[in-house]
A and B are shown apart, each in its own frame.
Chain A
Amino acid sequence: MSTDNDPMAEIRASFFIECEELLEALQDGLQIIEDGADDAETINIVFRAVHSIKGGAGAFGLEGLVRFAHRYETVLDEVRAGRLDVGPDALKVFFQAADHLSDLVRISREDAPLPTETTTELLGALDAFLGDNAGAEGEPDEDIDFQPMGLSFDLDLDDSGDDAADTELNLDDLPPPPAFDAYDEATAAEMTGGAYEITFIPGPELFDTGNEPALLLRNLQTLGDMTVRCNLFDLPPLTKLVPEIPHIGWTITLTTTVEENEIASIFEFVEGLCTLKISSVDARADDPPSSIADQIPVAALKKPSTDMPETIDPPQAAPPTAPEPTPIAATTNDKPAKQAASAPAKSVVRVDLDRIERLVNLVGELVINQAMLSQSLEKSGLSPHSDAISGLEDFQRLTRDIQDSVMMIRAQPVKSLFQRMSRIVRESSAAVGKDVRLQTVGEATEVDKTVIERLADPLTHMIRNAVDHGLERPDDRIAAGKEPQGKVRLSAAHRSGRVVIEIADDGAGINRARVLQIAIDKGLIPADASLSDTEIDNLLFLPGFSTAAVVSDLSGRGVGMDVVRTAIQALGGRITITSNPGEGTTFSISLPLTLAVLDGMVIEVAGETLVLPLNLVVETLTLKKGDVQMVRPGRNVIEVRSGFVPLFDLGEALGYRPPLEKFDGAVILLIAHEDESCAALVIDNIIDQRQVVIKGLDESFYRAPGIAAATILGDGQIALILDPSDIIAKAGTAVNMPNTVPAQGLSA
């Protein structure tokens, strides 16, 4: 609907951002309800989320979205009104509807055609909860097609308008019409006790946001006996009518037992979009309807005229007679305060990601510059106690602080990711017919945005695996003495500068005998191999491995755990498995907090400066004569604490120089792999350990083997960041479990 230079496009974009927040709130609310705490406020939050999405969607003409949200909202309203209990069945549908709503939002955002099949199916499921009301509420078109002009007023169009002052409102053509009585002054006067007079005048924004006065009035009716009078004195002649501007308001007299703020809460969603005054009838009993006009502020009604016919002229001609500037404040002010108390408001700023990227880059430059400065100061031979050196130390500290703060800007809680996973659990458990409950822990744990984005796919795969392969069928669970409902636990936590994400199921654990058999059958390991339990578990990560005996909807799509491991490794992380037979399996992913900086070891090989990720370096050694043993020509090992570790000459592996002939006195680095196997790299020299800013390499022309990225050193030169596992694979040896080496590794 919008083009690039459409000013609406921006507003529309912010609506969709808002939608994401609302959908998150919706998910949260449903989760809280599922956890058993279905207080009124939570249901309100859920309702409000759906309602606000509907409102925004209405303003942008996203009809499909409005239609679905409306029906969803109607059912939630039943819950809110206490007419419908949220049982497990209802909750399931609510969750599905929330998922679908999020789909619809996404699809609407892309201007793609909406999926009608799922929508119809879900609408049916939702309507099932409405019972008799379903039909009446069914066609939302009437509700969203809010046209004040559509009401049947008994109105002489040629008239100057004075007859229109108090006309009975006929609500017959609106959905379930509340039993509005014609306004009867006597009735109002007779009212005693908890009687309120409510003046409600919609502003243009109220209709823009998809609200419907009739629904509000109907909600109001549930609070007690009510009479409604429609105020039409502002209605201009047809020739001067601007359809977008509402010209009618209502005066409601309500006899009720509830508190005033409960009445105000009915109008919660239209707060600020209308003029609202709630006053106790007793308080104003002395001067009845004459005050009504006074209560109408200028903003809502351009022409707050009294009943005098002569003032009904072009709006601008009549100055406001007695405006009351703060009509709503007193009655509804307590509402926002209450909301703030229930959900502590975080003050956040939405920033374009590009700007943050720029800041991150600039800070990277700063770090590099700082390193250059310290190098040149070092060379200048200044005393370590000089002002320049101590100033530099302060500068270094500041740089580090700035860097940390900037990285924190990109950090996001993993919550949104976890919410996506709860959806995956719902969908995949439904697909395989298992009852699964997802427990999430540490949703507030913050990780770099890029890490979160790139974790989504591996996590989805692992969650599906846990549901499909990890958990047993309900019958088997009962037979094993467990609850029929399976549990998947997804947790995130910070641990020593990294984030650890665990996916744990309480299923049967890895069937090691079967895993071993499959690996042997597929020729991944020799038939006579004797592997430890951990080694068997790690077989799951081998390419081409699948434990699924039957290819189900979820698995067998050619994506294996090897892909997961590759994705995790690409993020600089590692993944490990632990499994206890009968008790379940846990996958543990350890990731760096950010992809922008790296603690690196700066080394020198054949005159080139290179950087190795520090977390991979286990140990540094200097070789003595006789440490190196040749296994076969070109293949050497060293003995490290009674184990043999393959040795790689980094200079040769990178093509920087011919192979070394003797290794005496060479510096070697012991490198650990994700599966805890080791390799030793021969280098010339260790220069430094420092934090480096990771710069991506453009690989569109040439992808250098063994190189993960680059960084800029203090002298402005570029140093390449090594990917040791790639080097080792390229050098022709797979180091994980020497007896499982696939032969084709040599040709890579």
Chain B
Amino acid sequence: MTDSTGTGTIELLTFRLAEQEYALDIMSVREIRGWTHATPLPHAPQFMKGVINLRGTVLPVMDLALRLGLPERAQNDRNVIIVVKHEDIMTGLLVDAVSDIVAVTSEDLQPPPELASNMAESVVSALTLIDERMIRVLNLPMTVNTQESAAA
């Protein structure tokens, strides 16, 4: 998997979450689907929305806003699930809306300030500016790896 801190041009899928803009390396994105009802898992952490049927596969879906500690927002039609794959494991990430696909070079990416005291920062691997808007590039392994937070 291409790491966003590597050299060369990378393409990012940008999306909105609670009025903020985030991005993921497009290489890890498998598909984008509309919101469907997820079957809740008993006693799951709040950000685990449950599981959905992705053409016969049981796909766990997490609410990315809750995962990043952002305020929960009301469900609407533009909410989508971004299906990502990391180390052969597929996960659905519920986001507010997908915005764009942008190409950036590694020079455009800046490391985030060393504020990694809360979860939201630790999953952000880089920051970049596009049209004067700040985009937070997510560290996918950190995002989908919820072992610590699930245990907490």
Beyond A608-B39, A655-B42, whether A702 also contacts B150 by CB under 8 A is yes
Q: Is B80 an interface residue (CB 8 A)?
A: no
Please state if A720 and B43 are interface contacts (CB–CB under 8 Å).
Answer: no
Beyond A697-B51, A717-B39, A718-B52, whether A702 also contacts B45 by CB under 8 A is yes
Please state if A702 and B51 are interface contacts (CB–CB under 8 Å).
Answer: no
Within 8 A of B (CB), among A639-684: 653-656
Interface centre among B44, B50, B53, B60 (most CB of A within 10 A): B53
Q: Is B40 an interface residue (CB 8 A)?
A: yes
Please state if B43 and A364 are interface contacts (CB–CB under 8 Å).
Answer: no
Q: Is A368 an interface residue (CB 8 A)?
A: yes
Residue from B56, B60, B145 within 8 A of A698 (CB atoms): B60
Q: Is B89 an interface residue (CB 8 A)?
A: yes
Please state if B44 and A712 are interface contacts (CB–CB under 8 Å).
Answer: no
Please state if B42 and A710 are interface contacts (CB–CB under 8 Å).
Answer: no
Q: Is A49 an interface residue (CB 8 A)?
A: no
Scan B31-57; emit 1 where CB is below 8 A from any A CB, else 0: 000000111111111001011110111
Q: Which of chain A's residues have a CB closer than 8 A to the CB of B150?
A: 701-702
Please state if B43 and A701 are interface contacts (CB–CB under 8 Å).
Answer: no
Please state if A696 and B58 are interface contacts (CB–CB under 8 Å).
Answer: yes
Scan B113-135; emit 1 where CB is below 8 A from any A CB, else 0: 00000000000000000000000
Beyond A698-B89, A702-B41, A710-B39, whether A718 also contacts B56 by CB under 8 A is no
Scan B52-72; emit 1 where CB is below 8 A from any A CB, else 0: 110111101010000000000
Please state if B53 and A712 are interface contacts (CB–CB under 8 Å).
Answer: yes
Smallest distance from the beta carbon of B119 to chain A beta carbons, Å? 15
Please state if A707 and B39 are interface contacts (CB–CB under 8 Å).
Answer: no
Please state if A705 and B48 are interface contacts (CB–CB under 8 Å).
Answer: no
Q: Is B146 an interface residue (CB 8 A)?
A: yes
Q: Is A249 an interface residue (CB 8 A)?
A: no
Interface centre among B43, B52, B91 (most CB of A within 10 A): B43
A732 to B62 Cα, complex, angstroms = 29
Please state if A718 and B53 are interface contacts (CB–CB under 8 Å).
Answer: yes
Interface centre among A361, A608, A700, A706 (most CB of B within 10 A): A700
Q: Which of chain A's residues have a CB closer than 8 A to the CB of B91?
A: 701
Residue from B39, B40, B43, B45 within 8 A of A705 (CB atoms): B43
Please state if B43 and A717 are interface contacts (CB–CB under 8 Å).
Answer: no
Please state if B41 and A701 are interface contacts (CB–CB under 8 Å).
Answer: no
Please state if B43 and A704 are interface contacts (CB–CB under 8 Å).
Answer: yes
Q: Nearest chain-B residue to A718 (Cβ)?
A: B39
A710 to B59 Cα, complex, angstroms = 11
Residue from B42, B48, B144 within 8 A of A654 (CB atoms): B42
Please state if A706 and B42 are interface contacts (CB–CB under 8 Å).
Answer: yes
Q: Is B76 an interface residue (CB 8 A)?
A: no
Q: Is B7 an interface residue (CB 8 A)?
A: no
Q: Which of chain B's residues have a CB closer than 8 A to the CB of A698?
A: 58, 60, 89-90
Q: Which of chain A's residues have a CB closer than 8 A to the CB of B146?
A: 701-702
Q: Is B147 an interface residue (CB 8 A)?
A: yes
Beyond A702-B150, A710-B51, whether A608 also contacts B58 by CB under 8 A is no
Please state if A701 and B58 are interface contacts (CB–CB under 8 Å).
Answer: no
Q: Which of chain B's residues have a CB closer than 8 A to the CB of A70?
A: none
Q: Nearest chain-A residue to B52 (Cβ)?
A: A718
A705 to B42 Cα, complex, angstroms = 7
A361 to B150 Cα, complex, angstroms = 30
Q: Which of chain A's residues have a CB closer than 8 A to the CB of B147?
A: 701
Please state if A702 and B44 are interface contacts (CB–CB under 8 Å).
Answer: yes
Smallest distance from the beta carbon of B148 to chain A beta carbons, Å? 11
Please state if B43 and A716 are interface contacts (CB–CB under 8 Å).
Answer: no
Q: Nearest chain-B residue to A700 (Cβ)?
A: B89
Q: Is A270 an interface residue (CB 8 A)?
A: no
Please state if B53 and A716 are interface contacts (CB–CB under 8 Å).
Answer: yes
Q: Is A365 an interface residue (CB 8 A)?
A: yes
Residue from A653, A695, A719 within 8 A of B57 (CB atoms): A695
Smallest distance from the beta carbon of B90 to chain A beta carbons, Å? 8
Scan A708-748; emit 1 where CB is below 8 A from any B CB, else 0: 00101000111110000000000000000000000000000
A710 to B53 Cα, complex, angstroms = 10
Beyond A710-B51, A712-B56, whether A701 also contacts B144 by CB under 8 A is yes
Q: Nearest chain-B residue to A607 (Cβ)?
A: B40
Smallest distance from the beta carbon of A723 to chain B beta carbons, Å? 11
A365 to B58 Cα, complex, angstroms = 12
Smallest distance from the beta carbon of B137 to chain A beta carbons, Å? 21
Interface centre among B57, B58, B91, B147 (most CB of A within 10 A): B58
A205 to B49 Cα, complex, angstroms = 63
A631 to B36 Cα, complex, angstroms = 43
Please state if A364 and B56 are interface contacts (CB–CB under 8 Å).
Answer: yes
Q: Which of chain B's residues have a CB closer than 8 A to the CB of A710?
A: 39, 51, 58
Please state if B60 and A701 are interface contacts (CB–CB under 8 Å).
Answer: yes
Q: Which of chain B's residues have a CB closer than 8 A to the CB of A719?
A: 39
Within 8 A of A (CB), among B1-52: 37-45, 48, 50-52
Smallest distance from the beta carbon of A429 to chain B beta carbons, Å? 43
Beyond A701-B91, A701-B144, A702-B150, whether A608 also contacts B56 by CB under 8 A is no
A720 to B51 Cα, complex, angstroms = 9
A269 to B34 Cα, complex, angstroms = 65
Please state if A718 and B58 are interface contacts (CB–CB under 8 Å).
Answer: yes
Within 8 A of B (CB), among A180-212: none
Smallest distance from the beta carbon of A598 to chain B beta carbons, Å? 15
Residue from B38, B42, B57, B145 within 8 A of A704 (CB atoms): B42
A656 to B39 Cα, complex, angstroms = 12
A704 to B39 Cα, complex, angstroms = 12
Q: Which of chain A's residues have a CB closer than 8 A to the CB of B44?
A: 702, 704
Please state if B58 and A717 are interface contacts (CB–CB under 8 Å).
Answer: no
Beyond A695-B58, A701-B147, A704-B42, whether A718 also contacts B51 by CB under 8 A is yes
Q: A696-B58, A718-B38 are in contact. List 6 more A-B contacts (CB 8 A).
A: A655-B43, A701-B60, A701-B146, A702-B60, A704-B41, A720-B51
Cross-chain pairs A/B with CB under 8 angstroms, 13 sampled:
A364-B56, A608-B40, A656-B42, A701-B144, A701-B147, A704-B41, A705-B42, A712-B56, A718-B38, A718-B51, A718-B53, A720-B39, A720-B41
The 5 closest A-B pairs by CB, nearest first: A654-B42, A704-B41, A718-B39, A695-B58, A710-B58
